[in-house]
């Protein structure tokens, strides 16, 4: 069996990071040489991460924390679809993902499918002793301290960085007590040169007048790019509109030829029958059937309408991925990169981006009773995702909590006609108010209610429905399964248990192909394959 190529690539990334720290006089050359030697001997990604963590000490700033290393497991962790919790409302609409389990395992599994493909990461990690709760108790041997927070974040940020696209961005909500420490950690993982800003978010409408010294109303959102020079301007400003017309009542009727590759926002896959489609006071006539897959047309078509742009402009808009067919079968285009760059950037003072009172009200509309503390408001995450200025990006939140990020993404899609996808990860921590675990009692139930307009049992007795229409998107729910690398019983091995369709692949026809794929992508599987 060939050696795991993904592991070798990851080792090279870690070693390159160590070399960079030597160059910046952060660690000594002798220490770096020892770390690199140990990393090269690591048998799994987790071992490599644990070794690299030993070098996270800032010589210049004195930044240091006692490492709580990830527990080494002999089990192979994999995604297992929960058919009972997954649902399809409309097969033509976006399908999102929720992974229930330790987010370290979830992130490793996401790398198999989404390496370099996540555009926006938003996280709201547990800040301290109370909010880390059972997670820290079960994942780390020592007391629940800030060191646990930093240790837990370090390994997960390394994985998140590998998931980010080259022009991607990560947002991290953090309180004032931990902001300085967590920023140093982000500098370590993403590089100081990729720091964008530390946003100040007003989390309370009114300060507490019982405060002994100062009445705190602000919290932080750290912003880092995967690559500073490739991240576009962050802006939520709309011009006259986020999109522009390509047809206008004052123009003469004409025919334009559309090459394949036009974006479609009335579904993911299907056909628009040739004919006339009225949109308000104008109409668009498709002279051919329009076939589309994965949100883009697959054939050339001729279109008759009151076009306000030339054939040359149409060709340009298609080649730049700007032209799209609307939900109502009309035609518009996105603003160009040049137009986007003329927008005003978001400021580092977020005064009207929702607050804690808003988040409480939002949850009560869905659950009636108070079931969760520390949730962020929809508007905060809505605006952060919107600032990325892409209507078809993939958004990851690996501290999903109540699932606010999922609702924010779907609401943004509803308002601007986008086709963004969310991926949520949530450990199933049990509390007094969530005896079955947060993921099962809160996250899944919230998503089911707002997406389908009903609970899993078919009831519709929650206030949110009175003033809102369900989003009607689809959801795949996965759990993290495990199988021992020493398991050789027929029907129970990793090669039997792991379902490649959970990773967007068709079924392998040959067992040898599946064995090779499993050994290449899953920790602890290589020796088993041998």
CA nearest to 373, candidates 164, 203, 172, 179: 203
Indicate if the pLDDT at residue 24 is higher than 80.
no
Torsion of CA 467, 269, 265, 123, to 10 degrees: 70
CB 471 within 8 A of CB 419: no
Distance of CA 388 to the CA centre of its chain: 12
Q: Write down the pLDDT at residue 35.
A: 83
Mean pLDDT of all residues in 125-150: 55
How confident is the model at residue 73, as a pLDDT?
76
Percentage of the chain modeled with pLDDT above 70: 89
Burial of 225 from C-beta contacts in 10 A (0-12 / 13-18 / 19+)? buried
| Higher-confidence position of 147 and 200 | 200
Q: Model confidence at 343, in pLDDT bands (50, 70, 90)?
A: confident
Q: What is the mean pLDDT of residues 206-231?
A: 89
Judged against a pLDDT cut of 60, whether residue 250 lies above it is answered with yes
Mean pLDDT, range 286-315, rounded to an integer = 95
Note the pLDDT tens digit of each residue in 357-369: 999 999 999 997 7
When pLDDT is averaged across residues 213-230 and rounded to a whole number, the result is 93
Average pLDDT of 124-135? 60
Predicted pLDDT at 528: 45
Q: How confident is the model at residue 71 (pLDDT cuts 50, 70, 90)?
A: low
For residue 280, pLDDT beyond 90: no
Retrieve residue 448's tokens: 């089911």
DSSP string, 82-126: -TTT-B-S-TTS-EEEEEES-HHHHHHHHHHHHTTTEEEEEE---
What pLDDT sits at residue 140? 40
| Closest to 422 (Cα-Cα) out of 461, 378, 456, 455 | 378
pLDDT band at 1 (very low <50, low <70, confident <90, very high): very low
Quote the pTM value. 0.77
Q: What is the pLDDT of residue 52?
A: 81
User: What would the two tokens of residue 515 be?
Assistant: 């064995």
Q: Enter the tokens of residue 251.
A: 């123009």
pLDDT at 145: 60
**pLDDT score for 131:** 45
Q: Where do the structural domains in the chain lie, given as residue ranges?
A: 5-53, 75-237+342-481, 243-334, 485-529
pLDDT for residue 368: 78
Pairwise CA distance, residues 518 & 499, whole Å: 10
The average pLDDT across 69-94 equals: 89
| Mean pLDDT confidence for 51-56 | 74
User: 3-state class of 478 per DSSP?
Assistant: strand
Could you write out the DSSP letters of every residue in 363-424? Answer: HHHHHSS---SSPPPHHHHHHHHHTT--TT-EEEESS-TTTHHHHHHHHHHHHHT---EEEE
Residues 73, 366: Cα–Cα separation, whole Å: 38
Region 187-216: what's the mean pLDDT? 88
Instruction: Answer whether residue 130 shows pLDDT above 70.
Output: no
pLDDT band at 391 (very low <50, low <70, confident <90, very high): confident
- pLDDT band, residue 464 (cuts 50/70/90): very high
Whether the pLDDT of residue 126 is over 90: the answer is no
Query: Which overall architecture, per CATH, does domain 75-237+342-481 show?
Result: 3-Layer(aba) Sandwich (3.40)
Higher-confidence position of 385 and 206: 385
| pLDDT value of position 186 | 95
Query: 81 or 371: which carries more pLDDT confidence?
Result: 81
Tens of pLDDT, residue by residue over 257-276, are 999 999 999 888 999 999 99
245 Cβ neighbours under 8 A, 6+ residues apart: 308, 332, 333
pLDDT, average across residues 122-147? 57
């Amino acid at each position: 069996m060939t050696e795991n190529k993904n592991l070798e690539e990851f080792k090279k990334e870690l070693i390159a990071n160590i070399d960079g720290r030597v160059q910046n006089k952060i660690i000594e050359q002798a220490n770096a040489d020892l770390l690199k030697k140990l990393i090269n001997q690591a048998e799994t990604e987790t071992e490599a991460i644990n070794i690299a963590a030993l070098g996270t000490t800032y010589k210049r700033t004195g930044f240091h924390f006692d490492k709580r290393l990830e527990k080494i497991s002999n089990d192979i962790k994999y995604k297992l679809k929960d058919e009972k919790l997954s649902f399809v409302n409309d097969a033509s609409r976006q399908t999102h993902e929720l992974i229930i389990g330790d987010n370290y395992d979830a992130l490793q599994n996401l790398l198999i499918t989404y390496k370099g493909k996540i555009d926006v990461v938003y996280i709201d990690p547990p800040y301290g002793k109370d909010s880390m709760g059972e997670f820290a108790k079960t994942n780390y041997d020592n007391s629940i301290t800030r060191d646990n927070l930093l240790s837990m974040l370090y390994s997960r940020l390394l994985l998140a960085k590998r998931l980010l696209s080259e022009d991607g961005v990560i947002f991290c909500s953090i309180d004032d007590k931990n902001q300085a420490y967590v920023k140093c950690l982000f500098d370590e993982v993403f590089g100081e040169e990729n720091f964008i800003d530390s946003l100040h978010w007003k989390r309370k409408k009114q300060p507490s007048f019982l405060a002994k010294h100062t009445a705190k109303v602000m919290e932080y959102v750290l912003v880092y790019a995967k690559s500073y020079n490739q991240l576009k301007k962050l802006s939520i400003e709309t011009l006259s509109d986020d999109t522009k017309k390509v047809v206008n009542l004052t123009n003469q009727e004409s025919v334009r030829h559309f090459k394949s590759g036009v974006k479609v926002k009335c579904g993911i896959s299907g056909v628009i029958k040739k004919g006339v489609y009225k949109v308000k006071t104008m109409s668009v006539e498709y002279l051919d059937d329009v076939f589309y897959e994965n949100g883009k047309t697959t054939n050339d078509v001729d279109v008759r309408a009151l076009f306000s742009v030339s054939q040359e402009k149409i060709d340009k808009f298609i080649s730049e991925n700007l032209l799209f067919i609307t939900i109502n079968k009309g035609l518009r285009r996105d603003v160009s990169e040049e137009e986007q760059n003329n927008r005003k950037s978001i400021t580092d003072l977020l005064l009207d981006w929702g607050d804690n009172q808003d988040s409480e009200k939002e949850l009560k509309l869905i659950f009636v009773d108070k079931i969760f503390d520390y949730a962020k408001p929809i508007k905060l995450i809505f605006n952060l995702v919107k600032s990325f200025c892409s209507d078809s990006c993939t958004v990851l939140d690996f501290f999903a909590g109540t699932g606010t990020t999922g609702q924010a993404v779907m609401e943004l899609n509803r308002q601007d006609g986008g086709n963004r996808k969310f991926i949520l990860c949530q450990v199933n921590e049990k509390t007094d108010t969530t005896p079955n675990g947060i993921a099962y009692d809160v996250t899944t139930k919230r998503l089911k209610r707002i997406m389908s307009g009903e609970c899993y049992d078919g009831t519709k007795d929650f206030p949110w429905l009175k003033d809102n229409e369900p989003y009607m998107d689809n959801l795949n729910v996965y759990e993290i399964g495990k199988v021992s690398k020493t398991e050789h019983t027929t029907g129970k091995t990793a090669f039997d248990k792991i379902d490649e369709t959970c990773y967007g692949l068709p079924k392998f026809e040959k067992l040898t192909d599946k064995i090779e794929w499993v050994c290449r992508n899953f920790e602890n599987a290589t020796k088993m394959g041998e």
